[in-house]
Amino acid sequence: MNIGIIMDGNGRWAKKNSFNITRGHEQGINVVREIVEESVKQKLNSLTLYAFSSENWLRPKNEVSGIKNLIIQSINNQLDELIEQNVKLKFFGNISAFGNKVSTKINDAEAQTNFEDPSLFLNIALGYGGRMDILNAINKILDESRNKKTVIDEEKFFDYLDAPIKDLDLLIRTGGEMRLSNFLLFHIAYTELFFTDQLWPDFTKKDFVNCIDSFLSRDRRFGKRV
């Protein structure tokens, strides 16, 4: 099973609990650790997390700076656990925009978790936007087509996208919002959606399992008549 999560509500959780915004993001990272552990336990194929969108660059500079520091801090704190769990880590999106320090840390973490047969593919979207991903893929195809005849079908198109997955089975969004926020737009044609009012820092393993159970109870027909 391939699951994606739009992790929403860190800021509102911090405000509700009279914390600064960084504390909300820190608690969100703690939840990520628990959900990754449960994903391994559930024997998922992949878990793809929307950590920072292309639109999030519009947030206050001090918040963005804090998030950059937290990326490095979370890798330092959790890399050994990911290695122990045999989890393969992959970041995607406009990683270079985060600067050399963050990019170097990410490249090192990916190299250390480059397992041939991982227990879980853990994909982290940073500086990512679904429309941008599709447009970049089209431009790659146009570049290739200038030199040779290129025939693109749906399966082949995935190869040009930055996101390292294909179809999502289930997409979970926390925080009470009922929108997709430009996440994996090409990948969710027949994805089951699950929206919850819970803010991401309050999301638990039990909540995650409930989402999976809800997915397993659904009848997925993919447009076919039963």
Task: Supply the pLDDT for residue 35.
Answer: 98
Query: Domains in the chain, please, with CATH?
Result: 2-129+167-216 (3.40.1180.10)
* pLDDT for 47: 98
User: Active-site residue among 56, 94, 136, 182?
Assistant: 56
Q: What is the pLDDT of residue 143?
A: 86
Digits of tens for pLDDT over the chain (226 positions)? 999 999 999 999 999 999 999 999 999 999 999 999 999 999 999 999 999 999 999 999 999 999 999 999 999 999 999 999 999 999 999 999 999 999 999 999 999 999 999 999 999 999 999 999 999 999 999 888 877 777 788 999 999 999 999 999 999 999 999 999 999 999 999 999 999 999 999 999 999 999 999 999 988 776 665 5
Concerning whether 100 is annotated as a catalytic residue, the answer is no
Q: Which of 72, 16, 43 is nearest to 201 (CA)?
A: 16
> pLDDT at position 225, please?
59
Please confirm, yes or no, whether 108 is among the known catalytic residues: no
User: Which residue of the set 8, 10, 123, 133 is catalytic?
Assistant: 8
- Residue 112 CB contacts under 8 Å (≥ 6 apart), including other chains: 79, 83
**What's the pLDDT at 175?**
97
d(CA 188, CA 191) in angstroms, rounded, equals 5
Give the helix ranges, DSSP H, for the chain: 10-16, 21-41, 61-84, 100-112, 130-145, 154-158, 205-216
At position 167, the amino acid (one-letter code) is D
Cα angle for residues 202, 205, 209 (degrees, 5° grid): 120
Count of residues for the chain?
226
